[in-house]
Structure 1
Amino acid sequence: MGLRTPLYDMHLALGAKMVDFNGWDMPLHYGSQVEEHHHVRKECGVFDISHMSIFDLQGAQAQALLQHLLSNNVALLTSVGSAQHSLLLNEQGGVIDDVMVFRTAEGYRLVSNAVTRARVQAWLQQHAADFACTVHWRNDLCLFSIQGPLARERLAPILNSTRAALMQSLQHHQAAQEGDWFISCTGYTGEDGIEIMLPATQATDFINELVGAGITPIGIGARDTLRLEAGFNLYGFDTNEQVSPLTVNMEHLICWEPQTRDFIGRQTLQAQLDQGVTEKLVGLVLEERGVLRAGQPVRVNNEISGVITSGSFSPTLGKAIALARVPVTTADRGEVEIRRKWFPVRVVNPRFVRSGKILV
């Protein structure tokens, strides 16, 4: 038996097929992964992502700690509720995890991936020992992600007036707190959406209200195809501690100013820039029938010089798509080996679908 969110029994009651996901028992789907995918693109659905890790950092030197640990500049979060995507890097410039960072009235809140929880918590606490601040793992909270073009419309009637008004006012990368609820707008599907953190004791009642309001529960299967279509990286596949963010389209999460901010990994990344980055992350579209999967080799100009980091069938495009790390010189064509045969693929910008529109 794996780890379980407080919604485990509710998932079973809703007919979920449960699978192991990085040590967690999570719903793969509730009947049809493809239908759930389309439902989020066209209407909206709710993901139980309570397996994600939430940390509160408070104290006089909380900002100083994050300036040392994170690739992005938290000093840019000038108001309560502002948010940014950032990276925790090791000394070699590899990605320990990518995190969302929120400015709160008491300090900062970080949301990281489930698979990295122990590593991230140990890393935060190790370095916090040198700063006047505390790190608190909020395992008393649940986290829901309501994604899709109708997310706000469907949510509004089941929230109280104060929370509904806050939710409607949020722009992307903003958050607001009302009592013990924390409402944000970040997203992982390429659609509009809202995340709600609330006490675990309220989670079952809340998801009952969501489902009652016509917000369909969505499993991790559709979550993966939705994020892949949107071109978002998945930790452990597209990124890990051996992968530089400069090779996987994450350079925008690095803030080089001020030059005096010596965050962990900075010197290594600067050296990589000085030497010249040799790889990039691209999108691939398979025009013929077949399946693209992580680990498949990519051939460019008759040389095996790249690899698929994550891939799947795209319900929106009706074709197999993938993210792949390839030489920076790669143009618009390549080949992928599938079952010992080479198939041509189009090389595209790794944003296949955004806001319901096909971009490739």
Structure 2
Amino acid sequence: MTLKATPLNSAHRSLGAKMVDFGGWDMPVNYGSQIEEHNAVRTDAGMFDVSHMCVVDIKGEDVRGFLRKVLANNVDKLQVPGKALYSAMLNPEGGVIDDLIVYYFSEDWFRLVVNAGTAEKDVKWLGDHKGSGITITQRRDGNDPIALIAVQGPNARAKVWQVLPTTQAASEPLKPFNVVIVPDTQFGEVMVARTGYTGEDGFEVGVSASQVEALWNAFAAAGIKPAGLGARDTLRLEAGMNLYGQDMDDSVNPLDAGLAWTVDLVSERDFIGKAALQAKGQQANFVGLILREKGGILRAHQKVIAASGNVGEITSGTFSPSMQQAIALARVPMDVAIGDTVHVEIRDKKLAASVVKLPFVRNGKVLAA
């Protein structure tokens, strides 16, 4: 099977990146030292090619009404143009079709950014449920593709402004989960969103695919370190952020994936999957684990045994560069609480782990000990 490539593929290869198959995409896992890439984001600024993710523009009549039906979070929270919202899109059984960000530009234009591997499924699902006055356009392929670079870290915003000074006046006042679109003399129309997937401040920057390699090179010249999928995974896991297909999927409801805060069950608004969530309720807790005994690394699918004998499962695990400890995200029985000690089955051992509140790390500071 031929792997899909982002517009930055040649740039990664020219930097000597180790490339891997990531859900059918040819993507960089690292450019040398994954630890250095991770630490650059925690202490300075790093950048990720996220052009495999898909921008989807939804335009037309009563887009808000359409999104009220297909998203679990309530788009009525979006009243000021440029505001963004994190949400899940659910199937009728309450399983997560995808998690995504929705940006509000006007009543007849909302923009979604959806995951790479689910984009085709998402666009089809949306198309199957839209009204006749609505158009859905994916912007990853086709005539006018948008490419995305995430620049993350305590110095990320300042370094973006070095390269894109025309965007500073509009983007500097942005609070987290807000976006602007600014014309730039060199790079054309630039979308600057104060969002990210690392637990650090920064921007996700969207430009025309034809301009993205020049922008990537300009960011690198400004001292922003290229970072690959390896660092992206350790950073997001430290930040307690879910990865679709690993921490939740079509068979997992968001209440069991630590995403209850993204689900609006309070308003009278109906949405696809609401009845199933109300009927099932929450059946598991989603927590952080820190391994307290030596002898292994925490990995997905390892069993987690509660003091009661009830069993849960790790969904994502790694060795944390920031904490120098083995950490994990886990879906555990409802009788497991923060502060408990559980045991994780690692090969033929049962090793003790502490149950902690997420996130582990945020804005460069270790929060879980």
When normalised by structure 1's length, the TM-score is 0.96
Return 329-338 or 300-309, whichever deviates more: 300-309
Displacement after TM superposition at 1:304 (Å): 5.0
Distance 1:2 1:304 in 2: 42
Distance 2:234 2:209 in 1: 28
Q: Deviations over 1:273-309 (max 9, x none)?
A: 3xxx231111000123321100001111162510000
Contact 2:289 2:354 (8 Å CA) reproduced:
yes
Displacement after TM superposition at 1:131 (Å): 4.2
Distance 1:63 1:133 in 2: 11
Distance 2:308 2:3 in 1: 44
Distance 2:68 2:177 in 1: 19
Is 2:147 aligned against 1:138?
A: no
Question: Which residue of the partner structure matches residue 330 of structure 2?
Answer: 324
Contact 2:123 2:138 (8 Å CA) reproduced:
yes
When normalised by structure 2's length, the TM-score is 0.94
The alignment partner of 1:145 has SS state of strand
Which of 187, 197, 213 aligns to 1:188? It is 197
Superposition misfits of 4+ residues, deviation over 3 angstroms: none
Query: What number of residue pairs does the alignment pair up?
Result: 354
Runs of 5+ unmatched residues, structure 1: none
Runs of 5+ unmatched residues, structure 2: 184-188
Which of 199, 202, 207 aligns to 1:198? It is 207
Distance 2:220 2:171 in 1: 18
Q: Deviations over 1:176-228 (max 9, x none)?
A: 11132111011111110101111000001100100000000000100000000
Q: Deviations over 1:86-124 (max 9, x none)?
A: 110000000000110000145100001001111101101
Which of 170, 173, 185 aligns to 1:169? It is 173
The alignment partner of 2:216 has SS state of helix
The aligned amino acid for 2:219 is L
Distance 2:26 2:38 in 1: 20
What percent identity do the matched residue pairs reach? 45
Cα RMSD (Å): 1.1
Is 2:102 aligned against 1:101?
A: yes
Q: Deviations over 1:247-269 (max 9, x none)?
A: 1111111123431x110001111
Distance 1:336 1:22 in 2: 28
Contact 1:58 1:135 (8 Å CA) reproduced:
yes
Question: Which residue of the partner structure matches residue 359 of structure 2?
Answer: 351
Distance 2:314 2:238 in 1: 15
Distance 1:73 1:282 in 2: 25
Displacement after TM superposition at 1:64 (Å): 1.2
Distance 1:326 1:283 in 2: 10
The alignment partner of 1:41 has SS state of helix
Distance 1:227 1:49 in 2: 14
Displacement after TM superposition at 1:55 (Å): 0.3
Contact 1:45 1:218 (8 Å CA) reproduced:
yes
Q: 1:318 to 1:177 in 2, by over 3 A?
A: same
Displacement after TM superposition at 1:168 (Å): 1.4
